[in-house]
Structure 1
Amino acid sequence: MADEAHGGGIQIHPMDQFVVKPLFGGDTVHWYTPTNVTLWMALTVLVVVLLLVVGSRGRAIIPSRGQSIAELAYGFVYKMVEDVAGKDALKFFPYIMTLFMFIVTANMLGLLPMSFTTTSHVAVTAVLALAVFITVTVVGFVKNGTKFLELFWVKSAPLPLRPVLAIIELISYFVRPVSHSIRLAGNLMAGHAVIKVFAGFAAILAVAPFSILAITAMYGLELLVAFVQAYVFTILTCVYLKDALHPSH
């Protein structure tokens, strides 16, 4: 976390926690190499399965803690999809629920000591965002045909401005997966890096109490960010799905 420098100072390396490393030694990472990212993504999937499948298997009248969390998550995402994208979007609820649970679980697991935050890597969030982008685009054309292009034609604007606005709308549409992925990864990476910087200063006796207080405050903030960023990613997915189902301005 913090190393003694040659001059007697302290070197802090906040980005070391984001390095992808092979699980079984070595330095080379191929596409098939099991890494710490692979491990923590697998653990994320396992936790989601245990919570949603095993935890709610009993379907008791008086729910257990696991069943209560599963039911709250189900109701929360279901209501979000219905309110934002409409009732005809509920057929995509399983996909959106899977996205939300994977992201929020990965974010929370990343707050455990010695863990790895998979959603802090753009390589992971970009795949999620690209999957959403491709899905809503295909849905838009399958459901609406060429009328999906009305999404880029602002009929309420004056006619001379419509071609200019169409270009802006088109660029904005193709930038969606970039902003969608960077927002999630950037917020998580920034928060974790700040926590590690404060943790590095904890080695200095004079500022240790302030550093520990700052770490505690940042950790509480990161818990909130872990949920909020999963929520933002999911609700943007619902907004994009609404555009695909109802493309006209």
Structure 2
Amino acid sequence: MSGPIEQFEIKPIIALPKVDGVDLSFTNSSLFMALGVAVSSVFFIWAMHKKQMIPSKLQSVAEMVYELITGMVSEMIGSEGRKYVPFIFTIFTFIVMGNLLGLLPYSFTYTSHFAAVGALSVFSILITVVIGLKKRGLNWFTNFFPHGTPWAIAPILIPIEIISFCSKPFSLTVRLTVNMMVGHIMLKVIAGFIYDLSFWGGWLPLAFIGCLTLFEMMIAVLQAYIYTILTCVYLNDALHAH
């Protein structure tokens, strides 16, 4: 059995020549990102292509996810946040698909890599900045020095606020990647003990790993939810003054 860390190794599927030192090969990470987008797109299109007054199971799941995101956006941002539901919805589905696909045998968890999640986090924060500047103009910079704050503490407060803002992509990335890595490593290690526990009977180790997998599925959804909530918080900060 391979080691618990090997599941996070990025392997090229279609090797391509480097361009200016950048490896453009199509990797297992690229494959599962594309697969995550394809699966989620097909699911929602298929579930909603024939809306019914009495929804089917697939339609119920699709509507539940959509209502979860719209409710989150309305609560965190307000009524004006509805225009940003597609942005938030896309982030949630991309992350949750990456987390769940990684639980399948011989799969790859692209949300366990700092590069992939880091790029998404930087992109998300930049989008909130663009939205904030578009709505508030130069007043957006008051996030670093709120109105009514004594000027005497400006030399201390402004650098702290700038550092806090710049650390947002890092905190989003670390929170998600570390949780995904730890959970998947734990599953891999415990699965390796199944053979050693065979004297208990096959059903006990299988039941244990099954329960652990269900727990990891809940963690996968929860981490996507937390990431999405934090994105909504940052978007709300960009849209509204402190």
Q: Distance in 1 between matches of 2:25 and 2:143?
A: 42
Gap change, CA 1:145 and 1:23, over 3 Å in 2: same
| Equivalent residue runs for 1:95-134 within 5 Å | 95-134=87-126
**Equivalent AA in structure 1 for residue 232 of structure 2:** C
Instruction: Extract unaligned runs of 5+ from structure 1.
Output: 3-12
SS at match of 1:114: coil
Contact 1:201 1:208 survives alignment (8 Å): no
Percent identical: 39
Contact 2:198 2:205 survives alignment (8 Å): no
Partner of 1:22: 12
Q: Does 1:228 align with 2:222?
A: yes
**Number of residues of Structure 1 aligned to a counterpart in Structure 2:** 237
Q: How far does residue 32 in structure 1 lie from its aligned partner after superposition?
A: 2.5
Q: How far does residue 157 in structure 1 lie from its aligned partner after superposition?
A: 4.9
TM-score, structure 2 as length reference? 0.89
Q: How far does residue 216 in structure 1 lie from its aligned partner after superposition?
A: 3.4
Q: Does 1:238 align with 2:228?
A: no
**Which moved further from structure 2: 45-54 or 201-210?**
201-210
**Deviation per residue, 1:70-126 (Å, 9 max, x gap):** 111111100101110111121111111111111112211111122111111111111
Partner of 1:9: none
Partner of 1:196: 188
Instruction: Extract unaligned runs of 5+ from structure 2.
Output: none
SS at match of 1:32: coil
**Which moved further from structure 2: 137-146 or 176-185?**
137-146
**Equivalent AA in structure 1 for residue 8 of structure 2:** F
Partner of 1:76: 68
**Equivalent AA in structure 1 for residue 6 of structure 2:** D
Q: CA RMSD in A?
A: 2.4
TM-score, structure 1 as length reference? 0.87
| Equivalent residue runs for 1:202-213 within 5 Å | 202-205=194-197, 212=206
Partner of 1:6: none
